[in-house]
Structure 1
Amino acid sequence: MIDVFPAAERHSADLGWLRSQPSFSFGGYHDPNRTGFSVMRVCNDDYLAPGRGFGAHPHSDMEIVSIVLDGFIRHEDNLGNSVVSSFGEVQRMSAGTGVIHTEFNASEETELRLLQLWFMPRERGLAPSYEASSFDPNKLHNALLPVVSAQGAEQMASIGQDMTIYLSKLEQGKQLAYTVEPGRKQFIYMIEGVLQVNDKQLETGDTAQVETLNELAFQADSPSFFMLIDLP
């Protein structure tokens, strides 16, 4: 079963310095029918104005992933980390028993676009940690590239949950197949393009929640950039 949620039906917010499209309830926006999927709690497509961002704020017992799509993000936290990341880089923070951090557009000239993803941890009450990783953007082409996983690896961030985040840039007319392990769920976010997923069509900004399927077949009707998350 593939449930598609069109971009046009998603909530959007414009605060001037921040434009955001959350896939689930977030902040002052609450939809009782959209509070998460499996262990996933947040999928925000955020645009931050030059030099603006989120001031110091706390988190606990949450796995937080930031994927930069365009521009530069500066992360700072009370663990002593201060990192600037751009496209081809991923930031992962395990909030654990508690962490305080800031996230700002590191550029004073260009807009920042990033995906903010939150997941419930496999185990609560662990020591907080932070990791910045990088991947080769060329490896996204016509492939599903894992950029975050429970095991982690070279050019892949680790995360404290039984899950994997893939990114892919599929050329028009190209196809990919993904074999689903029994009992697993998948979340798809269309960053850009038009994509056929089995018998469903996804366009820019659409999301899809997948359950009880054995395989996913992807075909790009236009050059497509998308995220696939495999979840317990």
Structure 2
Amino acid sequence: MIRVYPASERYHANHGWLDTYFSFSFAEYFDPNNMNFGPLRVLNDDVIKPLHGFGAHPHQEMEIVSIVLSGQLKHQDSLGNEAITTFGGIQRMSAGTGIVHSEVNPSATEDVNLLQLWFLPEQHGLTPSYEKTSYDIKQLQNQLLPVVAKNPQSPNIAHIHQDLTIYLSDLEAGKEIVFMQESGRRIFLFLIEGELQLNDEVKLYKRDSARITETPQLKMAANADTRLMLIDLP
């Protein structure tokens, strides 16, 4: 089953320094029927103005992934970590038993656009940790590139404490790829740019998403140059 969530139906909030769209119930947006999809709890599409951001604040018992689409994101935390991430980089933070962090745009001139994802961990009481990884942007072309996984097979893949894999892909117009999945698992698909047709049935456009179950084979055909994120979930 493929259930499409149009970009226009996301919750939108503009705080001046932050322009954001929520795919799930979060902060001031509460919808008891849209709390999660498997362990995926939050997907926020954030644009942060120059020299602004989220000041130091605490988290517990959550796996938090930031995928920068454009601009720069500066991370600092109570473990002493400090890093700047740009497109081609991933940051993963395990809040575990407790961590304090900030995420700000260090640029004086350029917005930063990022996808902020929260996942429920597979176990509580983890030791807090932070990791920044980078991937080869050229490897996105016409294939699904894993960038976050439970059991990473490369130092270019961030490790997460949940049985999931996040893939990114740049699919050229006219190309298609097929994703095969074990029975009983879920697929979450988010279209960053472009136009995509799924199993010759439904179309996705920029910033649309799909929550997919009972679909062991998913064919994705690009009607235009497309950038997508696919998450294989339990």
Identity among equivalent positions (%) equals 50
The aligned residue for residue 56 of structure 2 is 56
Following superposition, the deviation at residue 182 of structure 1 comes to 1.3
Question: In structure 1, how many angstroms separate the alpha carbons of the residues matched to 2:192 and 2:150?
Answer: 23
Q: Which TM-score applies when normalising by structure 1?
A: 0.99
Deviations 1:157-214 (A, max 9, x none): 0000000000001000000000011111010011011000111100001010000111
The aligned residue for residue 79 of structure 1 is 79
Deviations 1:61-95 (A, max 9, x none): 00000000000000000000000010000000000
- Would you say how many aligned residue pairs link Structure 1 and Structure 2? 232
Question: In structure 1, how many angstroms separate the alpha carbons of the residues matched to 2:192 and 2:214?
Answer: 24
Deviations 1:108-162 (A, max 9, x none): 1100000000000011011100000000000001010000000122210000000
The aligned residue for residue 176 of structure 2 is 175
What amino acid is aligned across from residue 11 of structure 1 in structure 2? Y
The aligned residue for residue 19 of structure 1 is 19
The aligned residue for residue 114 of structure 1 is 114
The 3-state SS of whatever aligns with 1:51 is coil
| Counterparts of residues 17-166 of structure 1 (less than 5 Å) | 17-152=17-152, 153-166=154-167
Question: In structure 2, how many angstroms separate the alpha carbons of the residues matched to 1:72 and 1:214?
Answer: 37
Q: Which runs of 5+ in 1 are unaligned?
A: none
Following superposition, the deviation at residue 229 of structure 1 comes to 0.2
The 3-state SS of whatever aligns with 1:12 is strand
What amino acid is aligned across from residue 204 of structure 1 in structure 2? K
Question: In structure 2, how many angstroms separate the alpha carbons of the residues matched to 1:56 and 1:190?
Answer: 30
Aligned with 2:208 (options 206, 209, 214): 206
What amino acid is aligned across from residue 81 of structure 1 in structure 2? N
| Counterparts of residues 182-201 of structure 1 (less than 5 Å) | 182-198=183-199, 199-201=201-203
Q: Which runs of 5+ in 2 are unaligned?
A: none
Superposed CA RMSD in Å reads 0.6
Aligned with 1:220 (options 202, 219, 222): 222
Runs ≥4 residues deviating over 2 A: none
The 3-state SS of whatever aligns with 2:11 is coil
Following superposition, the deviation at residue 10 of structure 1 comes to 1.1
Question: In structure 2, how many angstroms separate the alpha carbons of the residues matched to 1:154 and 1:218?
Answer: 28
